[in-house]
C-alpha cells in the first residue's frame, strides 16, 4: 500500500487525512475505470520552474484540493445512497453512483500534483467533514432532496464555471489538461441536483421547499464567506484564479443558482462578496 499524500489535522484524537493505494490488481481495475486520469504524468511538472512563494502556494492549493475532492466523494456517496433509499429513477441513482468514482479520481490527481510539487503541506483539515450525512428527521425523499440541493444544486453547480475558467487560465500544459478533465466531470456533476428536482419537486410540500431554501441559503452563505478577498490580478502559475476574477464568476454562478432554485419554488437570496 502506497501513501499518496498526507495532510495533518491539528485536531487531537483524529487521524490525519491520507490518500493511499492498495496497488496490484485493485489499482489496475481502478485505473481502467478512469483512463484519462490514469494517463496523467505529474512528473511533467518541475518544481525548479517556479518561485518559492508560487511553489508554497501551489502545494497548499493542491493539498487542500485533495481533501476537498475526497469530501466531494463522501458527499456523492451519501447522495447516491439517499437516491436509492428514496427510490429515485434507477438511471439517476446510477449516475449519482458513478460520481463517487469521479471524485475519488479527482482527489488522487490533486494529491499527485501536490506530491510532484514537493509533497502535501500540513493543513488544519476538518476531517469529520468526510462523514457526510443527510438530515435524520426527514422521510427518504426529503433526505435525498437535502443532499441533492446542498451538494449538487449549490456546491457542484458553483464549482463547474470556476473550474472551467481555471482551465482556460492555466498556462502549464499539464495543469491545463488536468483542470479541463476536472471541469468536464464537474459539468456533468452540476446537472444531477436539477435532474433530481425535475423528478421530485411535485412530491415536495411547501414546507419542505422552505426547508430546502434554508439548506441552500446556508450552503451559499458558507461558500461566499470563503471567497478570496483583495484585488490582486496576478496570474497564478500553479492554479487558482486571481481574487477579483474569482468573485466576479462566483457572483454570477450564485445568481444563476438562486434563479434556478426559484424556478422550482425554492426561495433563496443571492450572497455577496464581503468586500
Ligand atoms: Fe471533483
Ligand atoms: Fe464534482
Is the pLDDT at 240 greater than 70, yes or no? yes
pLDDT above 60 for 1: no
CA of 156 to the centre of ligand 2 (A): 5
Other CB atoms within 10 A of residue 240 CB: 21
Domain holding 119: CATH number? 1.20.1260.10
**CA 48 to ligand 2 centroid distance, Å:** 31
Q: What is the per-residue pLDDT across 79-129, written as a single tens digit (0 to 9) for each?
A: 999 999 999 999 999 999 999 999 999 999 999 999 999 988 887 777 888
**For residue 268, is it within any domain?**
no
Q: Domain total for the chain?
A: 1
**pLDDT the model gives residue 274:** 60
Nearest to 114 by CA among 67, 171, 170, 147: 67
Q: Is residue 202 part of a domain?
A: yes
pLDDT of amino acid 11: 61
Q: Which domain holds residue 218?
A: 2-263
Q: Ligand 2 centroid to 194 CA: how many Å?
A: 14
Q: Would you place residue 273 in the very low, low, confident or very high pLDDT band (cuts 50, 70, 90)?
A: low
Is 272 within a domain? no
Q: Say which ligand is closest to the CA of 190.
A: 2
In a domain, 117, yes or no: yes
Please report whether residue 274 resides in a domain.
no
Ligand nearest to the CA of 103: 1
* pLDDT confidence tier of residue 2, bands split at 50, 70 and 90: low
pLDDT at 10 over 60: no
What is the distance in A from the centroid of ligand 1 to the CA of 146?
19
186 assigned to some structural domain: yes
Ligand nearest the Cα atom of residue 104: 1
- Reported as a single tens digit per residue, the pLDDT across 246-263 is 999 999 999 999 999 999
Q: Please, which residues have CB less than 5 A from ligand 1, an ion?
A: 69, 72, 103, 106
Q: What is the pLDDT of residues 191-208, one digit of tens each?
A: 999 999 999 999 999 999
Residue 16 per-residue DSSP state: P
Q: Are 55 and 238 in contact (CB under 8 A)?
A: yes
Question: Is 112 contained in some domain?
Answer: yes
pTM: 0.93
> Considering the domain boundaries, does residue 155 fall inside one?
yes
Amino acid at each position: 500500500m502506497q501513501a499518496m499524500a498526507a495532510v495533518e489535522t491539528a485536531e487531537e484524537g483524529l487521524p490525519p487525512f491520507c490518500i493511499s493505494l492498495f496497488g496490484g490488481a485493485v489499482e489496475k481495475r481502478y485505473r481502467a475505470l478512469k483512463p484519462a486520469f490514469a494517463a496523467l504524468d505529474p512528473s511533467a511538472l518541475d518544481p525548479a520552474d517556479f518561485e518559492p512563494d508560487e511553489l508554497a502556494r501551489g502545494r497548499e492549493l493542491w493539498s487542500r484540493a485533495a481533501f476537498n475532492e475526497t469530501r466531494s466523494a463522501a458527499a456523492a456517496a451519501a447522495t447516491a445512497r439517499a437516491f436509492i433509499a428514496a427510490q429515485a429513477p434507477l438511471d439517476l441513482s446510477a449516475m449519482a453512483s458513478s460520481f463517487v468514482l469521479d471524485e475519488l479520481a479527482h482527489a488522487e490527481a490533486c494529491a499527485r500534483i501536490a506530491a510532484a510539487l514537493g509533497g502535501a503541506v500540513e493543513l488544519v483539515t476538518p476531517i469529520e467533514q468526510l462523514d457526510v450525512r443527510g438530515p435524520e428527521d426527514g422521510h427518504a425523499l426529503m433526505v435525498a432532496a437535502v443532499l441533492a440541493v446542498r451538494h449538487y444544486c449549490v456546491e457542484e453547480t458553483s464549482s463547474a464555471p470556476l473550474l472551467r475558467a481555471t482551465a482556460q487560465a492555466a498556462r502549464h500544459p499539464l495543469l491545463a489538461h488536468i483542470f479541463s478533465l476536472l471541469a468536464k466531470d464537474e459539468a456533468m456533476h452540476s446537472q444531477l441536483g436539477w435532474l433530481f428536482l425535475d423528478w421530485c419537486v411535485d412530491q415536495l410540500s411547501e414546507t419542505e421547499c422552505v426547508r430546502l431554501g434554508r439548506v441552500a441559503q446556508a450552503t451559499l452563505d458558507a461558500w461566499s464567506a470563503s471567497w478570496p478577498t483583495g484585488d490582486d490580478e496576478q496570474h497564478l502559475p500553479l492554479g487558482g484564479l486571481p481574487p477579483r476574477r474569482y468573485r466576479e464568476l462566483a457572483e454570477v454562478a450564485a445568481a444563476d443558482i438562486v434563479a434556478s432554485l426559484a424556478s422550482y419554488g425554492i426561495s433563496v437570496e443571492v450572497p455577496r462578496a464581503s468586500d
